[in-house]
Amino acid sequence: MKLLRYGDRGSEKPGLLDDDGNIRDLSGHIDDLTPDTYRLESLQKLVAIDPASLPVVPAGTRIGAPISRPGHFIAIGLNYADHAAESGLPIPAEPVVFSKAPSSLSGPNDDVIYPSGASKVDWEVELAFIIGKRAWQVSEDEALSHVAGYTVCNDVSERKWQIEGTGQWIKGKSAPTFGPLGPYLVTADAVSDPQNLDLFLDVNGKRCQTGNTSTMIFSIKTIISFLSTMMALEPGDVITTGTPPGVGMGMKPQVYLKPGDEMRLGITGLGEQTQKVVAE
């Protein structure tokens, strides 16, 4: 099942994507795709709905992020060895954990706003997932049973704010529109192996990132188990899992986004995003 939200920003409605690529309106059954909707027991009720019984949404309608507002928006840094190398940093001994502000969430094709005072805005295609069952001190064997589904994230980053001065990654990851998510969430039952998915990202038509989730340093089940030893993960928490090599910061010379640039990115089976960078 592919779940999404559609409509104008701030007034999105819930929907699903049928096998023919049509958006179907779910608002007759649920109000929105909220953290509560992503509880595994709530998802089971949606599975029983026949998509053909739902109204078709007009083609070209804006798609929003596939969750109204995450509880946590957690990110894992340096989770691909070759990305750590291009960043000039050692392979971490344990997952590098930081947060993105929930207010950074945006639709998969919305403009990325280049903030005032920024100068080193970068791209990062990532596999993200949404928690569907409370996870507190779970084993790796149990971990994947807590996942509602998987989606695409662009972990947009302002490297000056992230690294220079006193550092602190959350500062460089949290501006409005720095968290494009979607176009939809694919429920966990429909993703046979989340550790074997191809990722790509293009900037202005040039391929910059190519990778596969099989080369993660820390797998999804390891990430969930690790995080759950220190915090309770709740339904609706979004976790994004790190990026393969090819970011602008790793290029020689470094290359950063500027207003007018366009990004296209995607993951096998999870869809694609397209964003234009615009000045604030």
> What SS3 string covers 119-131?
CCEECCEEEEEEE
In a domain, 195, yes or no: yes
Distances (CA, A) of 235 to 42, 44, 71, 93, 125: 11, 14, 8, 28, 23
In a domain, 1, yes or no: no
- pLDDT tens sequence across 168-202: 999 999 999 999 999 999 999 999 999 999 999 99
**Domain CATH code at residue 228:** 3.90.850.10
Predicted confidence (pLDDT) at residue 89 exceeds the cutoff of 90: no
In a domain, 233, yes or no: yes
Distances (CA, A) of 199 to 121, 154, 212, 265, 270: 20, 11, 6, 8, 10
Provide the residue range defining the domain that includes 93.
Answer: 65-279
| Total Cβ atoms within 10 A of residue 210 | 14
User: Distance between CA atoms of 47 and 9, rounded to whole angstroms?
Assistant: 26
Candidate from 96-105, 162-171, 255-264, 268-277 with smallest mean pLDDT: 162-171
- Number of domains comprising the chain: 1
- The average pLDDT across 126-149 equals 98
In a domain, 23, yes or no: no
| Total Cβ atoms within 10 A of residue 204 | 11
The pLDDT, as a whole number, for residue 233 is 98
The pLDDT, as a whole number, for residue 179 is 98
In a domain, 128, yes or no: yes
> Exposure of 3 by Cβ count < 10 A (0-12 exposed, 13-18 middle, 19+ buried)?
buried
End-to-end Cα, the chain, rounded Å: 36
In a domain, 109, yes or no: yes
